[in-house]
A and B are shown apart, each in its own frame.
Chain A
């Protein structure tokens, strides 16, 4: 999140609502370590990344649903090896879990 402070500042100055997604856990081979983060504003603009580009699109949809109040802050999993995984997976075969929440704290 450290690399995203400028984007967050800019969006906050513009009065935009922001969701933050952070990698909290990886199983097997994962491209980014816990703490890797991306932020999404209410217009769907993105900064940062949480994988090698495999799951970012799905994260944006989740983040927008959370900002719209359709979903609560929660952990989402991506990967082929997890029963609850989304249809999108990681090409490396691992599983990553992300926590997505509004940046309202």
Chain B
């Protein structure tokens, strides 16, 4: 029961982990336990199959998805290689903590964005330095409301942000959003959106340059002005356009209407 014991410990500690189980084909019941640092325990019966399945399990874990995958007995993945050989079906079960969304600025758009983010499964943190605005009563849907400047929050917890997480800066106030952008860029967060008109964006770039944030690869990470071009007007519509952009950034899609394309819908 060594594998189960390890899984149980990781689940109890809220640690991300993927369990790969052969459910059909040679070696039913064989297992791999995969953790984000690349540690692999157990075997599916062939080293190459283990390597490929562990690699895919890590990607699924990153996306927080569980599902069935099929391989050849030696880890083959392409249909031609699979022809004529028995297929190994594995169930990849992933336990990942909820992705985080940090929203800076306690404004009307924040409440709407926090609501939509909760529907999508985010753990939502609202942060503003102004004690009168950053209250639980105004943002009951948020998982936490932090009264703080951005810098200290990033220093304390920025390391917890990863590819699945999002930082949305809705302040439109240079003295708040410049340190928020700086803080976000210092993390490996997957999405950084900054609200404001194109004019505000241009001015913000100048202020960022003043504090030394001017590397093109850093500025390329900023989605600013924030959101997809849906013609959104209300805070709720804007929240949908922001969340839709976050999804498109994660999947690498350009986000036109499905009707107007021809490729596969999933994948």
Contacts and interface: CB of A to CB of B under 8 A. Distances in A.
Given A34-B93, A35-B66, A2 B28 contact: no
A35 B3 contact: no
Interface string B1-16: 1011000100110000
Interface string A3-38: 001001000000000000010110000000111000
Contacts of A25: 67-68
Interface stretch (A49-57, A78-86, A87-95, A97-105): A97-105
B146 interface: no
A26 to B, nearest CB: 10
Nearest to A25: B68
Interface residues of A, number: 19
Contact of A2 (B21, B31, B89, B95): B95
B29 to A, nearest CB: 5
B24 interface: yes
A22 B93 contact: yes
A5 B11 contact: yes
Contacts of B31: 105
Given A5-B12, A24-B68, A75 B23 contact: yes
A105 B29 contact: yes
Nearest to B19: A1
B176 interface: no
Nearest to A35: B66
Interface in B115-143: none
18 contacts: A1-B11, A5-B8, A8-B8, A22-B91, A24-B67, A24-B68, A24-B91, A35-B66, A35-B94, A72-B28, A74-B24, A75-B24, A99-B23, A99-B91, A104-B1, A105-B3, A105-B29, A105-B31
Nearest 5 interchain pairs by C-beta = A24-B91, A34-B66, A99-B23, A35-B66, A73-B29
Interface of A: 1-2, 5, 8, 22, 24-25, 33-35, 72-75, 99, 101, 103-105
